[in-house]
Structure 1
Amino acid sequence: MASNIDTLVTVFGGSGFLGRHVVRALARRDYRIRVAVRRPELAGHLQPLGRVGQIHAVQANLRFPASVEAAMRDSHAAVNLVGILAEGGAQRFDAVQALGAGAVAKAARDAGARMVHVSAIGADENSTSRYGQSKAAGEKAVLEAVPSATIFRPSVVFGPEDQFSNRFAALARMSPILPLIGGGLTRLQPVYVGDVATAVADAIDGKTRAGATYELGGPEVLTMREIMEIILRVIERKRMLVSLPFGLAKLQAFFLQFAPGALKLTPDQVELLRGDNVVSDMAQRAGLTLQGLGIAPDSLEAVAPQYLWRFRAAGQFQRKSA
């Protein structure tokens, strides 16, 4: 059986939440991995995911094309995972998710490398959210530079280090009330980070269709209310769920965008919740899904207890009621 050890994959944004799982999936398939990040000195946690010398971090910033080109040198494939949920300083949606994605794709084209780009189901040039608009612009820039690129659009991604289920569990630990923006009726299809990482590794293996856009969702479509209820069951806390109209939520977000940690909420994030975030019927019919890749997705309710136990009143020592 041929080995992948001579294939160098450069993973942009490989030190983040999704990145560490993608790096692990690629390492298990024997690829050599160059992790391109803004702060390589903070990427040491990736080293134990592979063998000695298999994973190497280098400095690159998508806002500076020269650094992207340097990171791509001699690479056989590129994976772009870079994305931001909120703007801050020079990290703007257009600069990172649109122009930055284009810079990676151009560098991959010039290096003759395969290209895998992770976007989001919310990508839409007509979106009222600037996040969604920039994601759509990024996809367009990638396909213009590398028409054969594989694009993945995951729904909201959950897992041990996420800013989704952990965030709501943290809020439940500090507040007796949890807000449901828009009444909690927005439909999502939470997808496990490990399943997304497997899909990315499959794309590097050449198992995806050239130039295709895949939509990745979990096994269940859930409303925000149902997701909150699952999280509360897992952490064994009772909290009041209160509906919050979009208008009032956006007003509160104007101030909460400057808040720390789990309290942070931006007006743009409120806009994203106005639309459902689920796999389209078109993608399902075309087989452009996890199931189409032969991946059986894990559910939020099955995986969350493995890492949300720390939000229970007594943590892992919480006694189960009879």
Structure 2
Amino acid sequence: MKVLITGASGFVGSAIVQEVQQAGHEVLAASRSGKAPEGMQGIKLDVTQEGETLKTIQEVQPEAIIHLVGIIRETRDQKFQKVHVQGTENVLKAAQQVGARYLHMSALGASKGHKSKYFDTKGQAEALVKASGLTYTIFQPSLIFGPGDDFFGNVLKDLVSAAPVVPVIGKGDFPFRPIWIGDVAAAFTQALRNPRTENQTFQLVGPKEYTFQELLDLELHALQRRKPLFHVPLLLMDLAVPMMQILPNPPITRDQYLMLKEGNTGDPAPATRILNLSMDHLEHWLPRILKA
């Protein structure tokens, strides 16, 4: 099967590209930069540009499209509405033209009308997919971990390393179910030929639930450091986060703060019943992630 993968040069995209190719498919690796792993066809594609997207996908005629493009925070040029909603709409139009099987990367917690613009625009994109008339599969992953990931490899690492004490937001009891990048890549790859995944939405979560404080403790243990935890009251954070937004690069955005307080957890059973996932544990990978 000829499979076009958008966002192919990113952390998740690179893993899915490799998994899909190993499964015997012909991979077209599309990204804004046009870079692709050695031996693969790289395609320069900005999905926020409708004409470019329609033309490019019409030219290569993929049998399936895996759409992964997304951002976790806005910049001057990259906005949630433009990337998540407009970009998805453009790819769907192109997929309709070529009659492609469509696999979509959403997010656990996606919901139209959510206070978080990230979750709201992810929810809008899901609605577009479901109304497209295409044969689709939507995946909603929680935090994704693996060598090269940004959250465990950078964000949490910096948080527990920067100061003599480790700040914890509120009680630190927000729940999370991180999932291994290998399981995410396997889910997308298997869905290409598994009819039981057609026109379905799956939560992609790991085998174990952690509180935010437990994630901090795991990070400290993996780094072989011992530091006291300092709990910052939610009321104080509610006041401080808006003030941080005047900084050129705030340590946490309003959107990220809203999502953090909500937590990010779900039920792994539906996906594991249909897809052959290994459900690898965070503790197994964290030392390697922090050395990457």
TM-score (norm 2): 0.92
1:251 CA displacement: 4.0
Amino acid at match of 1:87: E
1:122 CA displacement: 1.6
1:130 CA displacement: 0.8
Q: What aligned pairs does 1:1-322 form with structure 2 within 5 A after superposition?
A: 7-40=1-34, 43-44=35-36, 46-47=37-38, 52=39, 55-73=40-58, 74-166=61-153, 167-254=155-242, 256=244, 258=247, 264-280=251-267, 284=269, 287=270, 289-309=271-291
Cα-to-partner distance string for 1:275-317 (whole Å, 9 max, x where unaligned): 231114xx74xx2x2343121211111111222146xxxxxxx
CA distance in 2 between counterparts of 1:198 and 1:18 reads 11
Aligned length: 288
Q: Is the 8 A contact 1:150 1:208 kept in 2?
A: no
SS at match of 1:184: coil
SS at match of 1:33: strand
Cα-to-partner distance string for 1:117-168 (whole Å, 9 max, x where unaligned): 0101120124221111001001011121144210000111111111211121
CA distance in 2 between counterparts of 1:305 and 1:37 reads 30
Q: Is the 8 A contact 1:234 1:309 kept in 2?
A: no
SS at match of 1:296: coil
Identity, % of aligned positions: 29
Give unpaired runs (5+ residues) of structure 2.
none
Q: Is the 8 A contact 1:181 1:270 kept in 2?
A: no
Change (3 A) 1:128 1:301: same
SS at match of 2:70: coil
1:71 CA displacement: 3.0
Q: Is the 8 A contact 1:63 1:100 kept in 2?
A: yes
CA distance in 2 between counterparts of 1:179 and 1:146 reads 47
Alpha-carbon RMSD across the aligned residues, in angstroms, is 1.9
Which stretch of structure 1 is more off in the superposition, 266-275 or 178-187?
178-187
Amino acid at match of 1:238: R
CA distance in 2 between counterparts of 1:84 and 1:251 reads 25
Cα-to-partner distance string for 1:40-87 (whole Å, 9 max, x where unaligned): 2xx25x22xxxx3xx211121121111212332311110111111100
Q: Which has the higher contact order (CA 8 A, sep 6+)?
A: 2
Q: Is the 8 A contact 1:105 1:146 kept in 2?
A: no
Change (3 A) 1:165 1:207: farther
1:244 CA displacement: 2.3
Change (3 A) 1:243 1:207: farther
1:104 CA displacement: 1.1
Amino acid at match of 1:129: S
Change (3 A) 1:291 1:157: farther
1:216 CA displacement: 0.7
Give unpaired runs (5+ residues) of structure 1.
1-6, 311-322
Change (3 A) 1:175 1:291: farther
Which stretch of structure 1 is more off in the superposition, 249-258 or 145-154?
249-258
Which stretch of structure 1 is more off in the superposition, 57-66 or 13-22?
57-66
Q: Is the 8 A contact 1:246 1:270 kept in 2?
A: no
Cα-to-partner distance string for 1:237-294 (whole Å, 9 max, x where unaligned): 112222223343344434555465xx731111001122231114xx74xx2x234312
SS at match of 1:220: coil
Cα-to-partner distance string for 1:153-209 (whole Å, 9 max, x where unaligned): 011111111121112113323322222223211101000111101100011233542
TM-score (norm 1): 0.84
SS at match of 2:189: helix
